[in-house]
């Protein structure tokens, strides 16, 4: 076997009761206690909240952070991975797991990110639409650059688009006409697009107040599809208003010798994308 990578799941993977099966591990209990001291009720919401509640960005992001990190801690008992990759919001627990941020700083960061993006969803109404059966260049051609933007490059035949609410019906019709299939994702807004630039700038200012350290392993950035280097705060902040380059990141990890992927988080969405290519 070659090198092992941990994949930290993103928004959309949230389910009621996630991490309940690992909540009693000592390291996980300590993590949850820390989170409760900063945001009381967040662990209860993660373990007992409804799907509708968990789908709200303000709650999705901190609960996904906790679930991702909890599953990573559980899996780490079998061995430390060579590198990590977080999908969108999963990039924060990935950086924390790698030691670039402390648990407390990382959790404060995710709470701030959630606050900014929740406010954004109230300002800009939109959704995320997965386009399947079409290559990325065809999906890009369907986007008008104003109301729709390529947001997540998930595979050879799956690209997710950030779409304004008023453009949703027309865009889905264009996808169908082009021979593809459009599926609306379980998130509360349109993300990873230029319209989030003001929130990304505010997030960067917050990130610069935290204590950053050199990570103990490579963490591949959604922004560059390469290991984090240089200005970590700027890279993480710009991710909010830029596409997630997942397909390219996986290709670069494979080129670096990774042949085994473990998904830290609820479900198997990311490992499914890896298998489909």
Active-site annotation, residues: 88, 192
The SS3 assignment for 259 reads strand
Contact 115, 154 (CB under 8 A): no
Q: How far apart are CA 236 and CA 161, in angstroms?
A: 20
Q: How far apart are CA 72 and CA 189, in angstroms?
A: 27
Please tell me what DSSP assigns to residue 244: B
Residues counted in the chain: 277
Beta pairing partners, 163: 127, 148
Contact 58, 115 (CB under 8 A): yes
């Amino acid at each position: 076997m070659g090198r092992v990578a941990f994949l930290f799941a993103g928004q959309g993977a949230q389910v009621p009761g996630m991490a309940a099966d690992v909540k009693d591990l000592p390291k996980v209990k300590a993590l949850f206690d820390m989170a409760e001291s900063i945001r009381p009720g967040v662990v209860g919401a993660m373990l007992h909240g409804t799907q509708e509640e968990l789908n709200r960005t303000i709650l999705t992001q901190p609960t996904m952070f906790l679930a991702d990190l909890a599953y990573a801690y559980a899996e780490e008992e079998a061995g430390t991975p060579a590198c990590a990759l977080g999908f969108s919001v999963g990039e924060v627990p990935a950086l924390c797991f790698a030691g670039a941020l402390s648990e407390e700083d990382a959790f404060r960061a995710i709470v701030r990110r959630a606050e900014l993006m929740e406010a954004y969803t109230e300002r800009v109404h939109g959704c995320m639409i997965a386009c399947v059966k079409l290559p990325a260049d065809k999906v890009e051609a369907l986007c008008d650059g104003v109301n729709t933007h390529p947001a997540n490059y998930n595979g050879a035949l799956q690209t997710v688009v950030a779409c304004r609410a008023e453009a949703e019906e027309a865009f889905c019709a264009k996808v169908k006409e082009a021979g593809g299939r459009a599926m609306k994702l379980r998130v509360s807004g349109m993300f990873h697009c230029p319209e989030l630039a003001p929130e990304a700038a505010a997030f960067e200012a917050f990130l610069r107040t935290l204590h950053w350290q050199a990570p103990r392993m490579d963490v591949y950035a959604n922004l560059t599809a390469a290991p984090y280097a240089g200005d970590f705060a700027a890279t993480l902040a710009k991710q909010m208003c830029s596409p997630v380059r997942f397909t390219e990141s996986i290709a670069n990890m494979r080129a670096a010798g990774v042949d085994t992927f473990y998904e830290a988080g609820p479900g198997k969405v990311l490992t499914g994308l890896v298998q489909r290519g």
